Amino acid sequence: MSRNVDSTVQKLGHLGGRTFLLSVAGLAAAAGLLAVLYLVWFTAVHFTQSFFFEASLVTPLNSVPDLRSTTGESFVTYGTANIESYESLAGPRLALAASEALYFLVFISGCVAVILICRRLWKNQPFTALVHWTLLVLGALAAAAALLAPWLKDVSTHLAVLELGLPGTALGLPEDPGDISWVASSAQFSFQDANHSLLAIGVVLILLSLVMRRGIKLHQATDGLV
């Protein structure tokens, strides 16, 4: 009787585990598919509708609005221009689409990794090596997106400013009130503009992958070590 009960409990546990794996893999597949569809739609919007971007605006000193706070302890600055264009602007649109695609790539890769790990667990196959490489790849992708995505967005803005023929990057504020306003843009990479939160997550994932690799080697060298 006891053996039958234990066997039933074991079967229920096994069935529950497989149901859990199917649920997780299904959620990952649905989320990944939605991300792919949203990325395709988002990219199509960039190339079919008006191109909108923000750029720093440098104005003559006497042209800056005098906006004063009520307490005197606060200061109001104004230096951003919202620009919309219906020109083709293939280069700027492509750079902006690539910038946003990097973030989607991290998420989609994570969904694929979850599905692959669930597949390994379903087949009762070793999965620690796969987890190690998953952490390493996701960490590298996150770090790359954190560094490159903001830079590509700046490149997009800079190319758009050039192609639209807007006044070039200012080296300083114009002194004469009659001077025209300038749009300040740059295509140079700057670590200061990186997505530091995502970069930190990427570094942590890479470090975890290295620790995971060390743990795998220790487990292989010492049987039974957890």
pLDDT of residue 142: 96
Mean pLDDT across 203-218: 86
In a domain, 162, yes or no: yes
pLDDT of residue 188: 87
Name the residue range of residue 88's domain: 30-46+53-221
For residue range 65-112, what is the model confidence (pLDDT) as tens digits? 666 666 666 656 667 888 888 888 889 999 999 999 999 999 999 999
The tokens 């987890």 sit on which residue?
Answer: 131
In a domain, 37, yes or no: yes
In a domain, 13, yes or no: no
Nearest-5° Cα angle at 110, 201 to 155: 65
Nearest by Cα to 161 from 64, 43, 51: 51
Q: Give the separation between CA 157 and CA 150, rounded to whole angstroms.
A: 11
In a domain, 62, yes or no: yes
Crossing angle of helices 2-48 and 90-122, rounded to 10°: 170
Alpha helices in 51-127 (DSSP H): 90-122
In a domain, 21, yes or no: no
HEC profile of 129-180: HHHHHHHHHHHHHHHHHHHHHHHHHHHHHHHHHHHCCCCCCCCCCCCCCCCC
For residue 75, the 8-state DSSP code is B
Percentage of the chain beyond pLDDT 70 is 74
- Residue scoring higher pLDDT (79 or 62): 79
* Other CB atoms within 10 Å distance of the CB of residue 24: 15
In a domain, 130, yes or no: yes
In a domain, 24, yes or no: no
Domain total of the chain: 1
Backbone angles phi, psi at 60, to 5 degrees: -60, 145
For residue 62, the 8-state DSSP code is G
Q: Return the structure tokens found at 117.
A: 């790990």
Q: Give the separation between CA 107 and CA 94, rounded to whole angstroms.
A: 20
For residue range 158-209, what is the model confidence (pLDDT) as tens digits? 898 888 887 765 444 455 545 667 777 888 888 998 999 999 999 999 999 9
In a domain, 226, yes or no: no
